[in-house]
């Protein structure tokens, strides 16, 4: 699910490639990888994992991906400043729709620029298509599933220590989900913005490979990055809690530590 800058450079002219810059339009307009379209994924938070909420999420996501021009035969590459949370969210989203030909640019545009690779400032328009995609229930979790399985899941809180400890409050309640282990998502990254190698990552995530792991943060962006790190390590059963603390922390009936 990671593509190197050199491999991407060789594929920029491929008609099958949809290259998505997930940063803000301001950043995009100041310089982006040639051919990239802009989709600021941070605009699409989702805090409702009820049955109805997920149906709406599926419908909205399909419309967005169709608008961008992704089809079943597309190779999609998402990039960010670094191997960041926005690009990771894009990768997770396509995997959720069972589209496996999807990658995050390892090191993001920071590494691309450091290697003096080409940039452009003109905006590239979308070429809308029809994206349907089959839902992959194996990589998503809702609040009910987590509540019912609290005692058997490995729950990773990808937020900062301050959010986890309740010092920084970003919902009606502070704290974290019971039994959750705090591993800040930023620890997944090396100094050059790439995802750390497997040996280093394995020191962070010391769990059995067959464990069922759920990652969460505030809005499932940082959690998506941790999802990719765990998949890189070979974890088979990893889910992202889409609603994350934005949902859990605002539901008074759910347990909090």
Condensed to tens digits (0 to 9), the pLDDT of residues 195-211 reads: 999 999 999 999 998 99
Q: Which of 95, 217, 230, 238 is catalytic?
A: 217
Residue 241, H or E segment: strand 237-241
pLDDT at residue 131, as a whole number: 95
109 lies in the same domain as 40: yes
Average pLDDT of span 54-71: 96
Cβ(50)–Cβ(142) under 8 Å? yes
Beta strands at 181-182 and 154-157: parallel, antiparallel or unpaired: parallel
93 lies in the same domain as 13: yes
Q: What DSSP string runs through 118-184? A: --B-S--------------GGGEE-HHHHHHTTTT-EEEE-S-HHHHHTSS--SSS-S--TT-EE--
pLDDT at residue 192, as a whole number: 95
Overall domain count for the chain = 2
33 lies in the same domain as 78: yes
**CA gap 12, 18 in Å, rounded:** 9
Please give the mean pLDDT across all residues of the chain. Answer: 97
Q: What are the tokens at 36?
A: 């990239």
Residue 241 domain-assigned?
Answer: yes
Helical residues (DSSP H) of the chain, grouped into ranges:
5-11, 25-29, 51-68, 85-96, 108-114, 143-148, 161-165, 198-204, 222-232, 244-248
Residue from 176, 156, 171, 134 nearest 235 by CA:
156
153 lies in the same domain as 233: yes
Asked if residue 44 has pLDDT above 90, the reply is: no
Cβ(220)–Cβ(193) under 8 Å? no
Residue 124 domain-assigned?
Answer: no
- The DSSP bridge partners found for residue 105 are 3
Asked if residue 167 has pLDDT above 90, the reply is: yes
Residue 213 domain-assigned?
Answer: yes
Give me the domain span that covers residue 179.
Answer: 137-248
53 pLDDT tier (thresholds 50, 70, 90): very high
184 lies in the same domain as 106: no
pLDDT at residue 33, as a whole number: 98
**CA gap 102, 239 in Å, rounded:** 17
Average pLDDT of span 7-23: 97
Residue 41 domain-assigned?
Answer: yes
φ and ψ of 254, to 5 deg:
-90, 145
Residue 194 domain-assigned?
Answer: yes
Indicate the SS3 state at residue 47.
Answer: coil
Residue 120 domain-assigned?
Answer: no
217 assigned to active site: yes
Q: What is the CATH number of the domain that holds 224?
A: 3.40.250.10
**CA gap 57, 81 in Å, rounded:** 26
Residue with tokens 């920084």: 168
Asked if residue 121 has pLDDT above 90, the reply is: yes
């Amino acid at each position: 699910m990671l593509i190197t800058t050199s491999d991407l450079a060789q594929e920029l002219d491929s008609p099958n490639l949809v290259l998505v810059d997930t940063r803000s339009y301001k950043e995009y307009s100041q310089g982006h990888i040639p051919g990239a379209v802009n989709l600021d994924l941070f605009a699409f938070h989702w805090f409702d994992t009820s049955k109805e909420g997920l149906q709406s999420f599926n419908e909205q996501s399909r419309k967005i991906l169709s608008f961008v021009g992704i089809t079943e035969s597309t190779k999609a590459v998402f990039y960010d400043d670094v191997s960041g949370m926005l690009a990771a969210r894009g990768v997770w989203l396509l995997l959720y729709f069972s589209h496996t030909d999807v990658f995050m640019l390892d090191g993001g545009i920071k590494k691309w620029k450091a290697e003096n690779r080409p940039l452009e400032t003109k905006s590239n328009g979308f070429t809308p298509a029809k994206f349907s995609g089959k839902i992959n229930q194996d990589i998503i979790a809702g609040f009910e599933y987590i509540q019912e399985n609290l005692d058997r899941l490995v729950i990773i809180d990808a937020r900062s220590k301050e959010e986890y400890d309740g010092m920084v409050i970003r919902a009606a309640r502070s704290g974290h989900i019971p039994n959750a282990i705090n591993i800040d998502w930023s620890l997944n990254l090396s100094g050059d913005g790439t995802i750390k190698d497997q040996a280093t990552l394995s020191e962070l995530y010391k769990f059995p490979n067959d464990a069922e792991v759920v990652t969460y943060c505030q809005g499932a962006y940082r959690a998506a990055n941790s999802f990719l790190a765990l998949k890189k390590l070979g974890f088979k059963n990893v889910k992202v809690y889409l609603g994350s603390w934005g949902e859990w922390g605002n539901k008074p009936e759910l347990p909090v530590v």
